[in-house]
Structure 1
Amino acid sequence: MSNEVTVVLQDRKTGQRRNYTINVNNNENILELTKSVEKITKIPSEELEVVFCGKKLSKSTIMKDLSLTPATQIMLLRPNSVVKTATSSSKFQTTDSSILGSFYVWCKSCDDVRRGKLRVYCQNCESTSVLVKAEPQNWMDVLKSKRIPVTCENCCRPGLYAEFKFKCLTCNDLAAALTHVRGNWQMAECCICDGKEKIIFDLGCNHISCQSCFKDYLLSTLQEFHFKNRPPYGFTVSCVYPECNRVVQDVHHFHVMGQSSYSEYQRKATERLIAIDDEGVTCPNPSCGQSFFWEPYDDDGRSQCPDCFYTFCRKCTERDCVCQSEDDLTRTTIEATTRRCPKCNVATERNGGCAHIHCTSCGMDWCFKCVTEWKEECQWDHWFN
């Protein structure tokens, strides 16, 4: 199968830059690509260095391993002087078993987990004509800004860094990297259903689960919203294996629940966070209910919902303020009938039953009578007080 690819030739001997469209066979290697360019430009193929995704490629790299699309560009460099070295000695070269396509992403267009590919751009001009000066060593090197320095053949500015982006291998759209998803190369069993799926979720503890079991686990957690607030990751879940403390570090993994469930998760997580934050606001408009943060500064005590644009008083939640200053009966009633969770400070009302309270915000078990962590003494001294 053959495809058309765009080749950008940067000739450092002449200072010229030219673009070519070349038909390539997916089963051919990079050496055959350079020979095709040689026929057009008369530049000897041994003088051409091929750069793709910031790496100098081995001449033996197979084209299909690059996951090319019609929009992909391959850069060819012709240095001022050619230094012949053994192809296996370059620290920038890839092997025939390219790492491209070995990532997994959540693709919004496909609405599913898909194999992904990594692409690298100049952070300044977004050109793909870049050469990385160091290999990424971990996920943070490709997910965080200004980690990997590059040389850009387009803008040629000093002090440039790489910008890495992930794309879906199926539709070529930008997608979110799933750091906890990998291929099941050992065909290990899911720790829940004992199945052997090709794609598995692994939080780094080797308690692997298949996508179906992981989805069911998330949906059951969402039902009672047992997601726990774990800074800096936000409201997340621990490993599916009991008593394992590893947690999901990126909420993009929760997309596997489905769009409606993911939206519900986002809404509830925001509400829970706002409930324990002094600057959190929930829109009182009955048809909205959006939760958001508000930085008050020296304002008049009013907020505007960013979703429905409803303006209201943050104290009494009315459009036309009816606050009674220090004699606010509502506030007095709330303070008289509620206790605050000793861990997260959420106001809690007891409407019956024993004094044992389980906080749905932070998960703490505490005593409504003595407002401390629930102890054995609480159970015997004032269980029904």
Structure 2
Amino acid sequence: VSHVLQGPRCPEFYMKCASHPTSDDDLSVALDLIMTNTRGVPCIACTDVMGVVLVFQCSERHVICLDCFQRYCQTRLNDRQFVYHPVIGYSLPCAVGCDESLIKEVHHFRILGDEQYGRYLQYGAEECLLTTGGMMCPSPGCGAGLLPPDGSRKVECDPRLGCGFVFCRLCRGEYHEGACQAVTAPPTGEAAQVNKTIS
């Protein structure tokens, strides 16, 4: 713990982890929803009373243990059920579904671990891109995020960031003039194909 005096009566305190050294200029994010369970409130999921819990920002202040919170986040991530908010980002509400309870500090989702947190960041970026009118390159194995100009059917995946594929904005197939011909397989998985005209 260190402190800095700013002005005659304005101390600021900083907590730093000794296991993860950082420079003096680095700021750490406070995970204000994770608290010591001094009142012995049971977890809303498993009903165990744990020493450290996450307290949601809902008016009911629901409590969930960190193991159950991690499982809640993982399940919602697997089902792509995080909520995109234009100010907060990609977040989750209280596990009970309370109104106005989105977690505002998204670093709480680091509980997912490095690999799953990476998925979380990717899904959040994709959701933000799609919400702002962007699209993903449809070329297999690419998926680069694109913000094509409005009104143009011809879209090129930037070869510096993606694969360079040029495709039709409407049908996502290789770029063409005229009406789109989308080819889709029937739900039975048979080899036959069905043509559908897209206007």
Q: TM-score, normalised by structure 2?
A: 0.67
Which moves more between the two structures, 168-177 or 250-259? 168-177
How many angstroms apart in 2 are the aligned matches of 1:197 and 1:55? Answer: 38
Q: Does residue 183 of structure 2 align to residue 328 of structure 1?
A: no
**Residue 262 in structure 1 maps to residue 117 in structure 2:** yes
Aligned to 2:73: 218
- Contact persistence 2:43–2:64 (CA under 8 A): yes
Once the 2 structures are TM-superposed, how far is the Cα of residue 55 of structure 1 from its aligned partner? 4.7
Is contact 2:70-2:111 (8 Å) kept?
yes
The C-alpha deviation readout for 1:288-323, integer Å capped at 9, x for no partner, is: 323x2426389984331664x4213252667xx642
Q: Is the CA contact 2:57–2:102 (under 8 Å) kept in the aligned structure 1?
A: no
Out of 38, 47, 57, the residue aligned to residue 194 of structure 1 is 47
Decide whether aligned partners of structure 1 residues 298 and 226 sit closer, same or farther in structure 2, where only a CA change above 3 A counts. Answer: closer
Shift in CA distance, 322/294, structure 1 to aligned 2, threshold 3 Å: closer
CA distance in 2, matches of 1:298, 1:269: 26
Query: Residue type of the partner of 1:178?
Result: L
Determine if the alignment matches structure 1 residue 231 to structure 2 residue 86. yes
Query: Percent identity between the aligned chains?
Result: 20
Gaps of 5+ in 1: 1-50, 57-89, 101-116, 118-166, 338-350, 353-385
Q: What are the superposed Cα offsets for residues 216-255 of structure 1, whole Å, 9 maximum, x if unpaired? A: 1111112221212233223321102344541111322212
Q: Residue 260 of structure 1 aligns to which amino acid in structure 2?
A: E
In 2, Cα distance between equivalents of 1:272 and 1:93: 40
Deviation of 1:276 (Å): 4.2
1:177 paired residue number: 30
In structure 1, give the amino acid aligned to 2:41.
Answer: A
CA contact (8 A) 1:281 1:314 kept: no
Number of paired residues?
Answer: 177
For 1:310, the aligned partner's letter is: C
One-letter amino acid of the counterpart of residue 286, structure 1? P
Counterpart for residue 5 of structure 2: 54
1:289 and 2:143 matched: yes
Q: Structure 2 regions of 5+ residues with no counterpart? A: 189-199
- Show the counterpart of 2:166: 313
More strand by share: 1
TM-score, structure 1 normalization: 0.38
**1:215: Cα distance to partner?**
0.4
RMSD: 3.7
| Separation of aligned partners in 1, 2:176 and 2:149 | 18
Distance 1:53 1:281, change over 3 A: same
Letter in 2 for 1:223: N
Distance 2:97 2:130 in 1: 28
CA contact (8 A) 1:283 1:305 kept: no
DSSP 3-state at the match of 2:165: strand
Distance of 1:315 and 1:322 partners within structure 2 = 4
